[in-house]
Amino acid sequence: GDSVTQMEGPVTLSEEAFLTINCTYTATGYPSLFWYVQYPGEGLQLLLKATKADDKGSNKGFEATYRKETTSFHLEKGSVQVSDSAVYFCALKGGNKLVFGAGTILRVKS
Amino acid sequence: GAGVSQTPSNKVTEKGKYVELRCDPISGHTALYWYRQSLGQGPEFLIYFQGTGAADDSGLPNDRFFAVRPEGSVSTLKIQRTERGDSAVYLCASSRPGERETQYFGPGTRLLVL
């Protein structure tokens, strides 16, 4: 069945550092891909999405590119802030449902 | 406008009891989803409603779990004979017609079975 694997955390960075969180997937066909974020004490929020190969999703300085060849959708940000500290989930849309990775905790220190 | 709301925000119950969890989707959203998130894991799909009917209930773990959406808006997830392993955060999401790609999540109900 469909599955998503993302890098284990926690990832701890200093403010203004470059961020990469790796995500790879296994799926039938070419599903839409998503990054969701969960800030402390809040619900899941859609961060960005890409619906077809080579699409780049972007929002709030975060970017991810749908790579069909490597079945990947890595999340990047050029300069993280303390306010980016959260749990990040990679997900794919398989049929009627979202299939999520286990989540990666990001901690940004000032 | 208002987002997806879920009540209660926390529920503590004893093993063997029955619980109901409620979800109010965003107004006008016809699709509604339930997910379960265990500690340290990503959400796992339980059931999907399109209107009043359960279009996909393949994620329900067993027959102790049941969900309804009688008028195509509010949904209730029902768990019978709760077990300690049912402890998790239960998330509800909804999406608007023609845009099922994007699901909007509620804050969740944290269920603890003692």
Report the alpha-carbon distance of residue A50 to residue A32 in Å, rounded. 6
Cross-chain Cβ contact A99/B101 below 8 Å: no
Report the alpha-carbon distance of residue B69 to residue B77 in Å, rounded. 9
Q: Which tens digits make up the pLDDT trace of A6-30?
A: 988 899 999 999 999 999 999 988 8
Cross-chain Cβ contact A98/B106 below 8 Å: no
Cross-chain Cβ contact A98/B45 below 8 Å: yes
Which residue of A36, A39, A44 to mutate against B (max B Cβ within 10 Å)? A44
Q: What is the pLDDT of residue A29?
A: 85
Kindly state the percentage of chain A with pLDDT values over 90.
86
- What average pLDDT is seen over chain A? 95
What are phi and psi for residue B85, nearest 5 degrees?
Answer: -70, -10
Q: What is the pLDDT of residue A95?
A: 85
A50 pLDDT more than 90 = yes
Shortest Cα–Cα distance, A47 to chain B (Å) = 11
Query: Looking at residues A53-78, what average pLDDT do you find?
Result: 97
Of A66 and B2, the one with more pLDDT: A66
Q: Which tens digits make up the pLDDT trace of B22-81?
A: 999 999 999 999 999 999 899 999 999 998 999 999 999 999 999 999 998 999 999 999
Cross-chain Cβ contact A96/B55 below 8 Å: yes
Other beta carbons less than 10 A from residue A7's beta carbon:
17
Strands A104-109 and A11-14 turn out to be: parallel
Chain A environment of B104 (Cβ under 8 Å): 46
Give the torsion sign (CA, A92, A62, B102, A101).
Answer: positive
Of A94 and B88, the one with more pLDDT: B88
Cross-chain Cβ contact A98/B107 below 8 Å: no
Residue in B41, B56, B108 closest to A96 by CB: B56
Q: What's the distance, CA B7 to chain centroid? A: 10
User: Which chain A residue has its CA at the smallest distance from B41's CA?
Assistant: A102
Q: What is the pLDDT of residue B1?
A: 55
Q: Cβ of B103 under 8 Å from any chain A Cβ?
A: yes
Residue B13: Cβ-neighbour burial (10 angstroms; 0-12, 13-18, 19+): middle
Chain A environment of B55 (Cβ under 8 Å): 96
Q: Report residue B11 as tokens.
A: 């529920």
